[in-house]
């Protein structure tokens, strides 16, 4: 990262940013251009704070087709936007926290892992609550698992 002063180096601090984001953008390999889609997600962290991301959705569509062709994806999420203004155009900037990374997508087929993934999704948006998942709904939706291979964090904060 060119701006080392803005890098979030601690994995637990990156995990905290992930916890507070509400949208993750996934970038797939496609033929002519990259294909990018915003999605909601759940995250499960290992003991070092490295996340595995879970995404749920329809069991068909472009992103699933592209995943089958090549499961390697990039991802990005960000939060805490605040426009910083000033007297001149070049004084303007934006505060943010963001996370970028790459990993490998796979389809979750095990019903118990699917349920755990959906619970992680709910925990991201409704923390501390418990939810029931209907069997037929769990069967019908596709759950994708993003095994994260690399991750970086960045924070822009005006002094
Ligand atoms: C805030 C937010 C949260 C979302 N959360 C989820 C989620 O948790 N799970 C989920 O499956 N989907 C979610 N979506 C919708 C997601 O972005 C995709 O639209 C959806 O997953 C279908 O993707 P697909 O590749 O199957 O597209 P397809 O239905 O196959 O359509 C492909 C075409 O539609 C265009 N397209 C696809 N998505 C979008 C989009 N969002 N905006 C504009 N054009 C688009 C593509 O560029 C392409 O031309 C969310 C969208 C937003 C904005």
CB 133 within 8 A of CB 56: no
- What confidence score (pLDDT) does residue 46 get? 95
Question: Model pTM?
Answer: 0.96
Q: Write down the pLDDT at residue 158.
A: 85
H/E element, 130: none
The ligand 1 atom nearest the CA atom of 40:
8
- pLDDT value for 54: 98
pLDDT along the chain (159 residues), means of 10: 87 96 98 98 95 96 98 98 96 97 97 95 95 90 97 92
Cα(23) to centroid of ligand 1, in Å? 12
Spatial distance between the Cα atoms of 87 and 146, rounded to a whole number of angstroms? 44
Ligand 1 atom closest to residue 37's alpha carbon, by position in its atom list: 17
- In short, whether 61's Cβ falls inside 6 Å of ligand 1 is yes
| Cβ-contact 74, 150 below 8 angstroms | no
**Ligand 1 centroid distance, CA of 93 (Å):** 29
Q: Give the model's pLDDT for residue 3.
A: 85
DSSP 89-122: GGG-EEEEEEEEEEEEEEEE--HHHHHHHHHHHH
């Amino acid at each position: 990262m060119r701006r080392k002063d803005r890098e979030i180096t601690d994995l637990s601090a990156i995990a905290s940013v992930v916890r507070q984001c509400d949208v993750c953008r996934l970038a797939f390999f496609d033929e002519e251009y990259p294909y990018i889609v915003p999605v909601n997600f759940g995250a499960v962290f290992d003991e070092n704070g490295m996340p595995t991301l879970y995404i749920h959705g329809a069991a068909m569509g472009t992103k699933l087709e592209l995943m089958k062709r090549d499961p390697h994806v990039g991802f990005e999420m960000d939060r805490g936007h605040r426009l910083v203004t000033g007297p001149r155009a070049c004084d303007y900037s934006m505060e943010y926290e963001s996370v970028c990374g790459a990993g490998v997508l796979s389809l979750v087929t095990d019903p118990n892992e699917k349920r755990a993934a959906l619970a992680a999704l709910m925990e991201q948006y409704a923390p501390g609550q418990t939810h029931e998942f209907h069997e037929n709904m769990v069967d019908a939706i596709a759950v994708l698992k993003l095994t994260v291979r690399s991750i970086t964090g960045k924070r822009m904060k005006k002094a």
